[in-house]
Structure 1
Amino acid sequence: MPSSQEIYQQLSQLPALEKLQLAELLLADLDVPDAEIDSHWRQEAAKRWQAYRDGKLKTVGYDAVMRKYK
């Protein structure tokens, strides 16, 4: 089996679009659902939504965000 360095040397010769497609495939392969992490994020999202509904969360409007990054 070729080493990761050997594979990289071969793949570095690919056109940019093919590299991007390969990167997407590799990332998708690594993106395995994790029930424990998903549960933590669900709890965090619920907590933040409740804080927003209770008026305890400071928010920034769309226009303010756009001005900041223009």
Structure 2
Amino acid sequence: MKGLEQITKDAMDLPPRQKIALAGFLLETTSIENDPDAEAAWDHEIGERIHAIDQGWVTGVPYSEVMTAAKRLLAQ
């Protein structure tokens, strides 16, 4: 059986799209639903982000720009 270090090395050798698919799979199969600390941390983070936007400290990036940049990075 492979250890985490070897699995990580193998994953880093994957093409970009396969890395993203693997990451998505891992996130989907990792449950934090019953972790009150994680839920509280996310609630806090969301509140902080909303506050930063409301105060004008940060601005959003249009979805189309994010997707164009992501596609460009994946094509490398």
Larger-Rg structure: 1
TM-score by length of 2: 0.45
TM-score by length of 1: 0.48
